[in-house]
């Protein structure tokens, strides 16, 4: 029995309860009403805590009369963050509230005259501030006067400007961003050749340009300057900024006598490019033109302007090639086969054009398919040679040697049904193109 009692005594001793652990204080309420004041007014702090031996309000470092709950009025002179701390032997707890004075807090606004500029250009920052003693523009310096003003900025790269307004009752921060465009290249997205009609400013495709940077991103701010040479028409603008689409579109009016011009686009200091505009005029002579094609062009340009021909015929005896657009356009472009290999290469030079049937273009004197013998001789005078060509269809043939122009008229109605223009001109019979 004794042994059993000893064992029971030992077991009962092992089940003795543990001592409770001491706990830190806990602030359960700390608030200010109102939390936003007009200077000179008071706010009411209300607080409550458990397990606290003491409570201290900072500022001013005041020990509160009750360590459990209570309230007190405070009259701050500036926006202030108040902290309540609770203490006991096991530790502390804290809580904070912010008392503001928004009616007198600085308010800062910023604006830019241009938020996107071209490198080398500037933009003007304007600012206004209320309840402010000073305004600092980071990385630039102090802005004066503090109430508002302007500062010219000339960033060299994309920049975000941050300004801070300081006042007795707080601060305010504002920022603006400037995008700086660096031109690299002018592009003509519709190609290098544009076609029009004499007396009209409508071009096909549309004459448009854009400017891109090194990463090929479209730029909107660079001014593009335009000029026209080798023609007597009129551009619709001498300078343009790209629109919101990123393109600068313009027209060329073929209002003069020449059906050609070179349009040059320039972003000064960065890039220049040129394109060609052509009209459907017939121009006899060494610098002649027909179906948009100049006699100084090569076969590659002929195809750009007119597409691939229906066929290419070969005259191996005279090393001549005929690019046939007769059915669709009423035009045959005559090429020199050089070297004489019966193959139409892109670099074969144009020798002239033959127009007939449906071709609507006319010379600057108004002569074309359907013109009468009387109209032709009134415009160009008597031909150097007139004869009947018996080959079918029989034709009254008018040769103007100095112009390199041969006109074939019907023998019954004396109206032109085919015209040959060649760049081989002189005071001798015009070289035949057929």
pLDDT digits (tens, 9 = 90+) for 86-139: 999 999 999 999 999 888 999 999 999 999 999 999 999 999 999 999 999 999
The pLDDT > 90 percentage for the chain reads: 87
pLDDT digits (tens, 9 = 90+) for 44-78: 999 999 999 999 999 999 999 999 999 999 999 88
pLDDT digits (tens, 9 = 90+) for 158-178: 999 999 999 999 899 999 999
Residues of the chain with CATH 2.60.40.10: 26-101, 185-279
The closest alpha carbon to 351, from 261, 434, 428, 433, belongs to 433
Architecture of domain 185-279: Sandwich (2.60)
What's the rounded mean pLDDT across residues 245-272? 97
CATH class of 105-181: mainly beta
Is pLDDT above 70 for 310?
Answer: yes
Q: Which CATH architecture has domain 289-422?
A: 3-Layer(aba) Sandwich (3.40)
Nearest to 32 by CA among 42, 22, 46, 17: 46
26-101 CATH, one of 3.50.50.60, 3.90.180.10, 3.40.50.970, 2.60.40.10? 2.60.40.10
Look at residue 396 in the predicted model and tell me its pLDDT: 96
How much is the pLDDT for 391? 87
* Reported pTM: 0.74
- Indicate where the chain has its CATH 2.60.40.2470 domain(s): 105-181
Q: What gap in Å lies between CA 227 and CA 169, rounded to an integer?
A: 60
Separation of alpha carbons 46 and 35, rounded Å: 12
Q: For position 285, what pLDDT does the model report?
A: 86
């Amino acid at each position: 029995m004794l042994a059993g009692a000893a064992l029971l005594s030992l077991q009962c001793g092992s089940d003795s309860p543990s001592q409770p652990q001491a706990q830190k204080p806990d602030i359960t309420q700390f608030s200010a009403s109102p939390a936003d004041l007009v200077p000179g007014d008071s706010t009411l702090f209300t607080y409550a805590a458990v397990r606290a031996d003491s409570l201290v309000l900072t500022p001013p470092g005041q020990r509160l009369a009750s360590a459990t709950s209570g309230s007190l009025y405070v009259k701050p002179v500036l926006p202030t963050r108040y902290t309540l701390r609770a203490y006991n032997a096991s530790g502390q707890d804290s809580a904070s509230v912010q008392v503001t004075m928004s009616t007198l807090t600085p308010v800062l606004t910023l604006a830019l005259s241009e938020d996107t500029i071209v490198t080398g250009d500037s933009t003007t920052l304007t600012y206004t501030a209320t309840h402010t003693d000073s305004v600092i523009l980071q990385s630039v310096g102090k802005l004066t006067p503090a109430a508002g003003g302007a500062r010219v900025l000339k960033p060299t790269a994309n920049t975000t400007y941050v300004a801070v307004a300081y006042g007795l009752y707080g601060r305010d921060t504002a920022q603006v961003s400037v995008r700086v465009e660096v031109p690299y290249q002018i592009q003509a997205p519709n190609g290098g050749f544009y076609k029009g009609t004499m007396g009209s400013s409508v071009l096909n495709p549309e004459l448009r340009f854009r400017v891109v940077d090194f990463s090929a991103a479209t730029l909107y701010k660079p001014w593009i300057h335009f000029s026209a040479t080798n023609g007597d028409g009129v551009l619709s603008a001498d300078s343009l900024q790209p629109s919101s689409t990123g393109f600068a579109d313009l027209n060329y009016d073929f209002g003069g006598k020449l059906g050609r011009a070179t349009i040059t686009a320039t972003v000064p200091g960065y890039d220049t490019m040129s394109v060609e505009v052509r009209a459907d005029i017939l121009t006899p002579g060494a610098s002649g033109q027909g179906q948009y094609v100049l006699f100084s062009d090569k076969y590659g340009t002929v195809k750009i302007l007119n597409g691939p021909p229906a066929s290419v015929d070969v005259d191996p005896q005279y090393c001549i090639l005929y690019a046939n657009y007769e059915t669709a356009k009423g035009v045959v472009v005559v090429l020199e086969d050089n070297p004489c290999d019966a193959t139409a290469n892109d670099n074969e030079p144009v020798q002239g054009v033959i127009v007939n049937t449906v071709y609507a273009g006319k010379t600057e004197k108004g002569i074309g398919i359907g013109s009468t013998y009387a109209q032709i001789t009134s415009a160009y005078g008597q031909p150097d040679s007139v004869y009947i060509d018996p080959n079918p269809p029989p034709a009254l043939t008018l040769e103007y040697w100095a112009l390199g122009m041969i006109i074939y008229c019907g023998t019954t109605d004396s109206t032109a049904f085919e015209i040959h223009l060649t760049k081989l001109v002189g005071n001798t019979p015009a070289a035949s193109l057929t």
